[in-house]
Chains A and B, each alone.
Chain A
Amino acid sequence: MTDTSPLLDIADLKVAFDTETGTVTPILGVNLKVHAGETVALVGESGSGKSVTSLAVMGLLPRPAGRVAEGRILFRRRSGDSVDLATLPREAMQQLRGGEIAMIFQEPMTSLNPVLSVGEQIAEAVRQHMKLDRRAAQKRAIEMLELVEIPAAASRALEYPHEMSGGMRQRVMIALAMSCNPSLLIADEPTTALDVTVQAQILALIDRLRHDTGMGVLFITHNLGVVAEVADRVTVMYAGQVVEAGPVRALFRGARHPYTRGLMDCLPARAHRGADGRRVVKAIPGTVASALAIHDGCRFGPRCEHAADACRAAPPGLEFAEPEHLTRCIRWRSL
C-alpha cells in the first residue's frame, strides 16, 4: 500500500435491513473514496441513504437487522495496512471508532452525556484510546478545547453540556472527536442545527483542523452552499445510490446528472426572472423517491425531464463522463 491509496474506499456497497415483511436494501450501489487531507461531501436529501452509508462505515448499523450485504469498505490504517470495515469484528471496530475514525453529528446534545462536565468527557475518551493517566488526560482535554477555539478553556471544561450554546456544544463534540487524532472524520450534518453566523465558524474550524492534521473528512450534508464551501470532491446520492461524483468545480459548473442539475437549479440563489418579470426557481417535480420502492429503470426517472424509454428499461450503471467524474445517467452526453 502506498500513501496515494485512498484512506477510505467504499466499493459497490449494499446495505440490507431485515424487517418483518422481508429484506429491504436502503443502500444499493455506493462507491466513494476519501483521500487523506481532503474533504469529500456526501450530498443527498432525506431517504437518499447518506446517513446509512456513514453508519455502515462506522460499523453502527442497527444490529441485528442491518448488515452490509455486498461490497467492501476499505480503510487504510495508520500502520499502513488496509482493513475491510464491512467484515471487521466488533472489538476491532470499536478500537478504530473514536480512535482512527471519529464522528460528529447534527445534534451534539444527544451525543454528549448530560451528567458529566465536558472536560471529563473528553478526558475519558482520551484515557481510553491513548492510555494516559488522569492528570495528563485532563491536561489534554483542556488543550483540545483550546484547539477548537473555546475561550477560557480551563473554566469551560468544568461546564455541563446544557450550560453551553449549540455552537459551543458542537465545538466540544469536535474536540471530543479530535482528541485521539483521527485520520478520518465523518461529519454528519454538523452545522444543520446551527445559526448561519455560527455555522461559518464551525465550517472554518473543521477546515482548519483538516489542514493542520491532514485527516480526511467525509462531510455529509444536504446544503449545497456548504458543499461549495468545504468540499474538494462531491458525491451525490439519490434513493440509495450514488448518482454522480466528481471534483467540486466540475459538479457545480458542469453537472452530468439531471438530479444534480435539478438540485442546483432549484436553489433560491439561482432564481431567474420569468417572462413576467417575476423571479422563479426551477423546481424538480414530484416527491423524493424512497430507496425502498421497487425501481425498474433509473431511480430518478419519474422526476427527470430528460427521461427516455431507455431510462425506464434498465437500471443505469456508474460511468465516467470525464476522468474523476462519475455519473449514473445513460443520457449524460446529451445534457
Chain B
Amino acid sequence: MTVQGDPLLSVNGLSKWFGSPSQGVRAVNDVSFSVGDGEVLGLVGESGSGKSTIGRLLLRLLDPTNGTIRFEGKDISALNERALRPLRRRMQMVFQDPYASLNPRLRIRQILGEALDAHGLARGKARAARIAELLELVGLSADHADRYPHEFSGGQRQRIGIARALAVEPRLIVADEPVSALDVSVQAQVLNLLQDLRRKLGLSMVLISHDLDVVELMCDRIAVLYLGRLMEVGTAEEVNRNPRHPYTRALLAAAPKPDPDAPKAQRLLKGDLPSPKSPPSGCVFRTRCPLAIEACATTVPALETVAEGHAVACIRSDVQELMTS
C-alpha cells in the first residue's frame, strides 16, 4: 500500500528522555520509521519498550528530546501549540482505557461536539446531523447522543472514542492498545470496526499493541521495540513468518497459542526487562539474548536491511539456529 514520494509520516532519530539527561529514563532512543499513505504500521513491544511514548510524540502530546517527525512532508517536531492546531485535525488518537478517556460529566453529544468545535466544523444546524452520522459510522445509533459515558459498555465506549477521533476527519490515527482493555468477545468487534473504517475512509494508522496476533491481523508493517529501541521492522508477513531478530523470535515463541496441540510457549528469555533508567550498554537486548556475544556489549547495532522492506538491528541476525532455554 506504500506510494511513491514522501511517506505520510516519517520519523528520524526520535528520542525522548524523561527527567535529567544523566539520570533520567530514556523512554525512546534513536527510533526511525515511516508510515505510508493508507498504511497501517504496528508498534509492538512489552512494557518499557517506549511504544506508547512514541505514539504521544507523534501527536506532539509530548515534546521530543531529539530527532524529527515529518507529517505530510512538514517537520512538526518543534512546532508550538498554536502552530500544531491545524495539524490536530489531520492526526488523531484512540486511547486504551475506554473508561478514563471519556469525560464522565459530559454527554456523548458534548464530547463529539467539542471535537467539532475545536476546529469550527459542522456548526449550527449541521451539528446534530454530523453527530448522528459519526455515531452510526462506529455502529452506534443517533439516539445515544444524549447519554453519558457510564451508560455504555466498554466496547461501546471505545466506539465513542473512535467516533471522537474521526469527528475531525483525520488522515492518521494513532491507536494505543485500542482493544486490550476490552472483553475478548468485544475485541473482535472493535478490530473489525477499525479495519472497516480504515478502508472506508482511507485512513493511515499507527497501531500500538503488545499483542502480536492483533498486530499481525491489522497491520501492513510491524516495528518491534525493546527498551526504547527499534529491533526489527518489516512487513507483517515477513516479521511473523521470518523473524530475524532474536527478540522478535522470543516474543513470537512466548505468545501462548490458542491451540492445545501447538508447541507450548517457549521461555527463551530469562529474567525480566532491565530498568530503562540504566539500559545495558551496546545492544539493549543482550542481557536476555540467548545469542549474545562479547561484541554485543560494545556496539549499538544499526538497523540494517536484510531483505526488501525488512530491517534488523542485530549483529547476530545471520544466526538461524534454534534457540533453547
Contact = CB atoms under 8 A, between A and B. Distances in A.
Do A and B contact each other directly (Cβ–Cβ < 8 Å)?
Answer: yes
Interface of A: 45-46, 151, 165-168, 195-201, 203-204, 222-229, 231, 248-249, 252, 262-264, 266-271, 278-285, 287-288
B217 A279 contact: yes
The 6 A-B pairs of least Cβ separation, nearest first, read A225-B256, A266-B188, A283-B188, A195-B46, A268-B213, A200-B254
B14 to A, nearest CB: 23
B183 A45 contact: yes
B272 interface: yes
A252 B259 contact: yes
A280 B184 contact: no
B266 interface: yes
Given A196-B46, A266-B185, 10 more contacts: A46-B154, A197-B251, A197-B254, A198-B46, A200-B265, A200-B269, A228-B257, A268-B191, A281-B188, A282-B188
Contact of B262 (A197, A228, A288): A228
A196 B255 contact: yes
Contacts of B185: 45, 262-263, 266, 283-284, 288
Interface residues of B, number: 48
A197 B269 contact: yes
B270 to A, nearest CB: 8
Nearest to B216: A268
Interface of B: 46-47, 153-156, 183-189, 191-192, 195, 199, 210-214, 216-218, 250-251, 253-262, 264-273, 288
A239 to B, nearest CB: 12
A225 B213 CA distance: 11
Contact of A225 (B187, B255, B268): B255
B188 A223 contact: no
Contacts of A222: 183-184
Contact of A228 (B188, B191, B260): B260
Contact of A269 (B250, B253, B257, B265): B257
B45 to A, nearest CB: 9
A201 to B, nearest CB: 5
A252 B258 contact: yes
Nearest to A201: B267
B184 A45 contact: yes
Contact of B265 (A165, A229, A262): A229
Contacts of B153: 287-288
Nearest to A48: B183
B187 A266 contact: yes
